[in-house]
Amino acid sequence: MNILIIDPGSTSTKVGIFNDNQLIKENFKHDRSEIEQFKTIIDQLNYRFNIIKHFIQNNHPSLSFSAVIGRGGLIHPVEGGVYRVNDKMLEDLKAGINGQHASNLGGIIAKKFAEQYNCEAFIADPVVVDEMMPLAKYSGLKGIERKSIFHALNHKATARKVAEKIGKSYEEVNFIVAHLGGGISIGIHSKGKVIDVNNALDGDGPFSPERAGGLPVSGIKDYLSKNNISIGELTKIVSKQAGLMSYIGSVDMIKIEEDIKNSDKYKEEVISAMAYQIAKEICSLTAAVNGQIDGIILTGGLAHSKYLIDLISKRVSFLGKIYVEPGENEIESLLMSAKLALQNKIQVKEYRG
């Protein structure tokens, strides 16, 4: 099997080629100013497509692919699994029917390459996987429902990995998984389903390097009035320019930690506040399973920061064992999904919208 794997993120494009039982991969970082020249997510299509095209030409120019798999985007809510990229999915990804995010390009770019190579195009465990229990949907105001938008791919892959480590199946355990990255999503995994999780894009939960998390309604109203901005402008701010970007003006944790070591008390307090909000969210999710958890998993890019992990661990270690699995591992997770689909070990699902 020869498989092309595509994972577009906010400021990166990760690519993998699986050939002859070997995986080569690359993480192409994009300067923020480079990305911000594009008015919309879909405007980035050719820019990212050409990066991947050059990667293929530099590594396997004559290779043909059995399948292309991309990161799932903000389509209509679906259950977990592997989905074939069809016309309805492309339509919804291009329209951004559930929001604008770089992950929307995953299925679109996968389909574009699949047409060139005359093979299947898939996505797997998109960010809108919705397995939330009915009680978790209530927001407190009729007509507004809590949404399941989170790092489903890494959540589920890492939970399965840790479950295997402790000699259990994913369907047997209760884990709280915290994905710590540009956005932060924290979910309770119970018997194979994520029954509650915060909307990590623009909704609730802790603030993160780029996102605001939950905000008080009165504060939002005053902010709109004081700054004379529209709802559309506010949406961009809370998902791209909030969190650490708002408080510190940087998301570089290495530099921030250096400043803290040099007695920058303000940055120390901001990072402590983020860790506190993460810990609060973790603790609150124990209520979903009456406190019966098999462990807490800390994953994502920020899990490389021992400083941050220690701050969180001090507040949640009383709940149970903490497993630290740094990084996102999304290329490997997508690859496994594509292999299972090509081997007919799982059923490929059709997206209906």
Which residue in this structure is represented by tokens 């960010």?
127
Per-residue pLDDT at 33 exceeds 90: no
Per-residue pLDDT at 104 exceeds 90: yes
Strand partners, 26: 15
pLDDT in tens, 257-303: 999 999 999 999 999 999 999 999 999 999 999 999 999 999 999 99
- CB 131, CB 195: distance < 8 Å: yes
Per-residue pLDDT at 346 exceeds 90: no
**3-127+330-350: CATH class:** alpha beta
pLDDT of residue 202: 81
pLDDT of residue 234: 93
Query: What's the whole-number mean pLDDT along residues 18-43?
Result: 92
Strand partners, 254: none
Lowest mean pLDDT among 171-185, 294-308, 332-346: 332-346
pLDDT of residue 11: 84
47 pLDDT tier (thresholds 50, 70, 90): very high
Strands (E), 210-291: none
pLDDT of residue 10: 81
Residue 81 per-residue DSSP state? S
Task: Single out the residue of 32, 26, 78, 77 nearest to residue 54, CA to CA.
Answer: 26
pLDDT, averaged across the chain: 95
C-alpha span between 62 and 73 (Å, rounded):
29
Per-residue pLDDT at 137 exceeds 90: yes
Token pair listed for 21: 């039982």
Helix extents (H) in 131-216 = 134-137, 152-165
Residues of the chain with CATH 3.30.420.40: 3-127+330-350, 152-326
Per-residue pLDDT at 309 exceeds 90: yes
pLDDT of residue 273: 98
- CATH (one of 3.30.420.40, 2.40.30.30, 3.30.70.360, 3.40.190.10) for 152-326: 3.30.420.40
Tell me the whole-structure pTM to 2 decimals.
Answer: 0.85
Q: Count CB neighbours of 27 within 10 A.
A: 13
Per-residue pLDDT at 142 exceeds 90: yes
Per-residue pLDDT at 353 exceeds 90: no
pLDDT of residue 3: 98
